[in-house]
Amino acid sequence: MRKLGLLSAVIVVAGSASLAQSNASPAAISKAPASRIIAPPPSFHMPESETLVYSVEWHLLNAGSATVVLQRSGSFEHIRALADTSGMVNKIYAVHDTFDADIEPRTFCTQQVSKHSQEGSRRIERQVHFNYQTAKSHMEESNLKTGNKRQADYDIPACVTDVVSGFFYAASLNLTAVSSQTFPVNDGGKTTDVKIDVEGRNRVKVPFGEFEALRVKAEPVSGPLKGKGVLWVWFTDDARHIPLRVKCRLAFATILFQLQRLDLPKTSK
């Protein structure tokens, strides 16, 4: 169960609901095989101060909870994802992860990523900065248990997303067109190309409610994550594209996330 820390990367799909409230026409899914990020139209805006809370199941056990928060931070969108185990799973292998990312809302290019991973006895801090002028990312990592530090630079494409904002990006596309697209994802190492396919529609019932949903499959097709797992996301079949359910199939297990609650910003009277 060592890789349960991926839980924090998977639950960030929840953030894509923040794209839901835009009235702008979503970008069409590209049929071109090239891996790239398509910038949203100028009229597109992400809403702010939304929180999505998910239950997490592992082998039919209540494994914990996952939370995604979207906030404005200067000229960027700041996304925070938290994952915490509980109950029996927490006794077997405790996970308390935090993932923060700043993205440029006009392009969906990730600017920086900060990760705190507390998984079993491991305590890791990682900072990643993306420099698109030099086509490099710079990663600094600290092992809080041993005190060891390391840093490295990696090549990146002209625009790259991460495991958090990548799902925001997917939700901004025209998911009603049954098609696919491949785009680059990076959060500290070599870039992985992820291919998404809209597989169809079905009705989905989660604690938050029952909805008509679009089922989207996401799978790494190149890079270090290729062959490491596949996930499916059920988005509401409307302009909001709220992620209702996420099913992540990994080598060691299947993890299921279901939307419990969606908190919208309070409006002043």
Predicted local confidence at residue 180, as pLDDT: 86
Q: Is the predicted pLDDT of residue 195 greater than 80, yes or no?
A: yes
CA distances from 235 to 47, 59, 146, 154 (A): 17, 23, 42, 33
Q: Which residue has the higher pLDDT, 81 or 267?
A: 81
73: which strand partners? 76
Per-residue confidence at 29, pLDDT binned at 50, 70, 90? low
- Residue-wise pLDDT for 77-119, tens only, equals 999 999 999 998 888 889 999 999 999 988 999 999 999 999 8
Q: Which amino acid is at 148?
A: N
- 191 Rama class: left (phi>0) / alpha (psi -120 to 50) / beta: beta
Third-level CATH fold of 2-123+161-262 = outer membrane lipoprotein receptor (LolB), chain A (2.50.20)
Q: What is the pTM of this model?
A: 0.85
Residue 6 has pLDDT above 60, yes or no: no
DSSP per-residue string spanning 173-209 = B-TTS--EEEEEE-SSSS-EEEEEEEEEEEEEEETTE
Mean pLDDT, rounded, of the chain: 84
Decide: 7 and 254 in contact? Cβ < 8 Å: no
**pLDDT tens digits, one per residue of 132-180:** 999 999 999 999 999 999 999 999 999 999 987 887 788 888 887 657 8
- Candidate from 36-40, 119-123, 194-198, 222-226 with smallest mean pLDDT: 222-226
Domain borders along the chain are 2-123+161-262
Structure tokens at 65: 């909870």
